[in-house]
Chain A
Amino acid sequence: MKPVTLTINGKLVRATQGEYLLGVLRREKIDIPALCHHEAVEPYGGCRLCTIEVTKPEWDGWKDYVTSCLYPAADGLIIQTDSPQVIEIRRTILDLYLARCPEAKLVQDLAAKYGVMKTSYQTVPEPNDCILCSICTRICDTMGFKAISTVNRGHGKEVAPPLDQPPDACVGCLACALNCPTNYIKWKDVGGTREIWGKKFELIRCEQTGQPTITREFADYLIANRNINADYFKIKDSAHRTETSLGLGKIAQWTREEVK
C-alpha cells in the first residue's frame, strides 16, 4: 500500500496508490455526483457524472477527462473537480438523462443543481424512471443470485428477468428494489406475501409474534450456502432479544440465589 500525494483543486492530499479517486474525493468531502455508484459492487463507469479533469506535470498541458469511480490514484496527479469543462460534461449528461427519465425526482433534483430545469433534447418516446445504472443487476450478481440482468443493448437496453418470466433464481430479498436510486423497481408485501419481478413469495412468520420476516427462499439459501443454523430463522429479531434476555436472566437468577 504505497502512499501517494495528489493535488485536488489546488490542495495537497494523501491517498493510497491504486485506490479509486472517487473514494479519495468523497473522503475529502468534495461533492461529486454519481448515479451508478454503489459501494457494495464494483465500480461501473456508466453514468459518467463523476468525471473529473486530471493531468500531470509531464503531460505537457494535456488534460484527460476520466471517471473518478474507476481512475486509480497515482503520485503527482493534479485533479480539478469543477472546471468549466467538467461542469459542462455533467450538465450535458444530466440534460440527456432528463430526456430519458423526465419524471425521476432524483434526476430532476440533480439536474436542477446544475441549472438544468428542463431537457433541451427530445424526450424519448416511452420515458420511464430507469436510469440504467445497473446497480440492481450488479447487486444481484454480487449476492450470488444472478436472477436479473440487462437485456438488449444500446438505447433499447433494459433490466429484466430472463425470458420476461418470474425468475427462478430470485429469492425475494428486495436488494434490487431497495437500492434502486429512482425506486423504479416495483414490489409489494401484503399479508405475509411478497411480490417482485412477477414472482410471489411466502414470508416466514415469527413463531412467537406471528410477524413476517424474510422469504422462505432467502432463508433457505442462507442455510444451505452460508452455513447458518435453520433454527435462527424461526423467530424474528425482537423475539431473539427476548429469548436472549430470558436466557441470561436465568443464569443471573441462579448466581443471585447462589450468593444468597
Chain B
Amino acid sequence: MRGRYIVTPHLCTGCRTCELACSFTHAIDGKPGRSRIYPLAAGYKDLYVPVVCFQCEDPACVKSCLVNAITMNDETGAYEISPEKCVRCMACVAACPFGCSLFDKQHNLVIKCDLCGGDPVCAHFCPTKALVFELFDEEELKEVV
C-alpha cells in the first residue's frame, strides 16, 4: 500500500488532533511517544500546516546515517528508522532540511514518520480533512516505484 499525504492548509484549524493520534499510535509500554507530525502556524491568519516527513527522494536523513539505520519500507515507500540499529548520533536530526527527524527524549529514540505501515492514523483523525492520505492508483504507483 503506497500513497501520499494531501494537505489542504486552509482547512487546517491547528487543532493538533493529528499530533495526539501520532503520539498515541507510537506509544511504547503505554507511554505516548513524541509526535512525528507538527501542525504549525503558517504565518498568516487562520493558516496552519501539518509538517510531516515528505519521504523525499534521496533523503538527507538516509545519506547522513552512517550505520544505515534508515531504510525504505518497500511496501509503504516510507523511510523507517530501525530503533535497534540507530546509534542516536543525531546526524539525521541535524541534517533533515524539514526538521522531520526528531529525538524522542522520553523513549531515547530518534524518530520520524513511518506512515504507520501504509495507513497513517493521523489522517484518519483529522476532523476537517485538511490531512488526507490518498493511495496511489495503479498507473501512478508504477511511476513512483
Which A positions have Cβ atoms within 8 angstroms of B? Answer: 38-41, 139, 142-144, 173-175, 178-179, 204, 213-214, 218-219, 222, 226-229, 231-233, 236-246, 248-250, 252-253, 256
Contact = CB atoms under 8 A, between A and B. Distances in A.
A237 B40 contact: no
B101 interface: yes
A259 to B, nearest CB: 9
Nearest to A222: B64
Given A226-B64, A232-B60, A256-B10, A143 B87 contact: yes
B127 to A, nearest CB: 19
B1 to A, nearest CB: 23
Contact of B102 (A179, A237, A243): A237
A134 B10 CA distance: 53
Contacts of B67: 40-41, 139, 142-143
Interface of B: 7, 9-10, 38, 40-44, 47-49, 51, 60, 63-64, 66-67, 69, 82, 84-91, 93-102
B18 to A, nearest CB: 13
B49 A252 contact: yes
A41 B47 CA distance: 45
B10 A226 contact: no
A249 B94 contact: no
Given A142-B66, A179-B88, A245 B93 contact: no
B42 A252 contact: yes
Contact of B95 (A175, A222, A238): A222
A contact face: mostly helix, strand, loop, or mixed = helix
A237 B99 contact: yes
A142 B60 CA distance: 19
B42 A248 contact: yes
A173 B95 contact: no
Given A142-B67, A228-B63, A240-B98, 16 more contacts: A38-B87, A174-B90, A214-B91, A222-B63, A226-B64, A228-B64, A232-B95, A236-B94, A237-B96, A238-B99, A242-B99, A244-B100, A245-B49, A250-B42, A250-B43, A256-B47
Contact of A143 (B7, B40, B66, B93): B66
A219 B42 contact: no
Contacts of B51: 241, 244-245, 248
A193 to B, nearest CB: 16
Nearest to B38: A241
Given A142-B66, A245-B40, A39 B85 contact: yes
A173 B10 contact: no
A248 B6 CA distance: 13
Contacts of B102: 237
Nearest to A41: B67
Nearest to A206: B94
B98 to A, nearest CB: 5
24 contacts: A40-B87, A143-B87, A144-B66, A175-B89, A179-B87, A204-B94, A213-B94, A222-B94, A222-B95, A226-B63, A226-B64, A226-B66, A227-B63, A228-B64, A232-B60, A232-B97, A236-B94, A240-B100, A241-B38, A242-B40, A249-B44, A249-B49, A253-B42, A256-B10
Contacts of B90: 173-174, 213-214
Contacts of A228: 60, 63-64, 95
B40 to A, nearest CB: 4
Contact of B87 (A175, A219, A232, A253): A175
A160 to B, nearest CB: 20
